[in-house]
Amino acid sequence: MAFKVGLLGLGTVGTGTADILLNPSQRHPLLKELEIHRVGVRSLDKARTVNLPPELLTTDLESIVTDPEVDIVVEVIGGLEPARSLILQAIAHGKHVVTANKAVIARYNDEIFTAATDAGVYVLIEAAVAGGIPVIEPLKQSLCANRLQTITGIVNGTTNYILSRMQSEGSDFNAVLADAQQLGYAEADPTADVDGFDAADKIAILASLAFGGRIKLEEVHREGIRQITAADITYADKLGFVIKLLATAKRDNPTFDEALNSDQLQVRVHPTLVPKDHPLASINGVFNAVLIEGDPVGQVMFFGPGAGSGPTASAVVSDILNIAAILKVERGSAVQANGKPLLDPLLACSHQHYCTIAPIEELETRFYARVLAEDSPGVIGRLGTCFGQHNVSLESVVQIGLRDNRAEIVVITHHVREGNFRQALQEIKAVDAIADIPSTLRVL
């Protein structure tokens, strides 16, 4: 008996997916029990690199998600609509769903997973985060015994490519972005990548899995990399750091009191100074990496290609196979109160509540600030005093050189409360001898 796949979309990822399904040799034998039943496309006439019988193709995507013969719907059309509606319709018709759509999952996880649980179907999303790197399933299964503490990821290849080139070439952001666009590493409208929206979607999904609660995307603090200058990268380098766009999700209170249910998370995306000996510092180019810290496992890191047809299709088809394996052994003889199959508690989404996310002012972290000031005695003293008055203790204050006749001073703080640091900056900006504070960045 073959399991029938309805494929929505035949773009980059859809083509990669079909490629694997049509070439099972030397792969897991279960692949031979999968069959592409229908493929939904925008145009029937387009030339395709994948060799599919033309009668499988249709422009009527709804007919696929409602087709009684389809067991598993694979959504790889991307974008919010009609992807969201098609996923919900597929679930309503009792189909299992595999999707690579981080934007839909980050925004509509509530309605999608509630519907999936009610219907007794799986919605698997390995391809939605970090492309081909196994991270969703390891979080759900291989690390499920841990009390997870922190997830820190380089989850956007475009920004990592831009920052890596700025680092190696000493170039400015706009020049590298323009080149990346020409080379196809950045979109014509690069907003989703360079302003951190894509990374925010992904860390929201990872946080939800790691900490067992839903995440309101608008509560994820998000900063992009447009403001990063060659000067900052040079100074960071001198101080022993590289600058990376990190997506972080962290439990705020290691001393959790279950009775108080005092769990509070930080979920944030921002450029960060990463010490050069940190495992994430050497992740360059379009590669992604996700570092997970848990008790008792310690630190584990997953590294690999975060995008692209092949890697993303690897994740999509692995999810399809995982569902086929479940169907094969007829898992689900146990039923819920509504008569629908009971889902595997590790693979299904079991949480209902929203996580509490701490405001960014409450974050305790180290900071880097670049300050332009009059080149006169006493300026460093004034800086130190202002920071001190706001409980911001400093690790180092270094005058790097002169720029436009001003002294360029780089400050690194100890771990301080972000709110205090921002208040100190306000006050410092008002000091006559201070010309400008062109950049402030967080330090890992």
329-368 residues near a copy of itself, rule: CB under 8 A: 329-334, 341-347, 350
Q: Is 302 in the site for a copy of itself (CB under 8 A)?
A: yes
Q: What angle do CA 141, 143, 149 make, to 5 degrees?
A: 135
Q: Scan residues 148-207 and list those touching a copy of itself (CB under 8 A).
A: none
Residue with Cβ nearer a copy of itself (52 or 143): 143
DSSP string, 200-246: HHHHHHHHHHHHTSB--GGGSEE--STT--HHHHHHHHHTTEEEEEE
Q: Scan residues 281-300 and list those touching a copy of itself (CB under 8 A).
A: 282, 294-300
Residue of 6, 78, 132, 157 interacting with a copy of itself (CB under 8 A)? 132
> x/- site string to a copy of itself, residues 211 to 230, per CB under 8 A?
-x------------------
Residue with Cβ nearer a copy of itself (332 or 419): 332
Q: What angle do CA 106, 110, 116 make, to 5 degrees?
A: 110
Q: Is 209 in the site for a copy of itself (CB under 8 A)?
A: no
CB of 132 to a copy of itself, least distance (A): 4
Q: Which residue has the tokens 């098609």?
A: 86
Report d(CA 429, CA 421) in Å as an integer. 12
Report d(CA 36, CA 101) in Å as an integer. 20
Q: How far is CA 52 from CA 32, 34, 37, 57, 389, in A?
A: 16, 15, 11, 8, 69
CB of 345 to a copy of itself, least distance (A): 5
Alpha helices in 120-186 (DSSP H): 136-137, 157-169, 173-183
Q: How many residues bind a copy of itself (CB under 8 A)?
A: 73
CB of 142 to a copy of itself, least distance (A): 3
Residue of 74, 320, 372, 424 interacting with a copy of itself (CB under 8 A)? 320
Q: Scan residues 379-398 and list those touching a copy of itself (CB under 8 A).
A: none
Report which of 82, 61, 76, 97 is spatially closest to residue 12, judged by C-alpha positions.
Answer: 76
Question: Which span sits near a copy of itself by CB under 8 A: 144-152, 160-168, 266-274, 388-396?
Answer: 144-152
Residue with Cβ nearer a copy of itself (140 or 222): 140
Residues across the chain: 444
Q: Is 310 in the site for a copy of itself (CB under 8 A)?
A: yes
Report d(CA 106, CA 295) in Å as an integer. 26
Residue with Cβ nearer a copy of itself (9 or 16): 16
Q: Is 311 in the site for a copy of itself (CB under 8 A)?
A: yes
Report d(CA 236, CA 410) in Å as an integer. 9
> x/- site string to a copy of itself, residues 12 to 51, per CB under 8 A?
----x--xx----xxxxxxx--------------------
Active site residue 202: yes
- Out of 95, 102, 140, 202, pick the active-site residue: 202
Q: Scan residues 245-264 and list those touching a copy of itself (CB under 8 A).
A: 251, 256, 258, 263
Report d(CA 72, CA 90) in Å as an integer. 9
CB of 22 to a copy of itself, least distance (A): 12
Residue with Cβ nearer a copy of itself (249 or 397): 249
Residue of 114, 141, 420, 440 interacting with a copy of itself (CB under 8 A)? 141
Report which of 372, 375, 389, 380 is spatially closest to residue 429, judged by C-alpha positions.
Answer: 372
With residue 371 as reference, give the H or E element that holds it: strand 364-373
Name the packing angle between helices 102-119 and 197-211 (round to 10°).
30
Catalytic residue numbers read 202
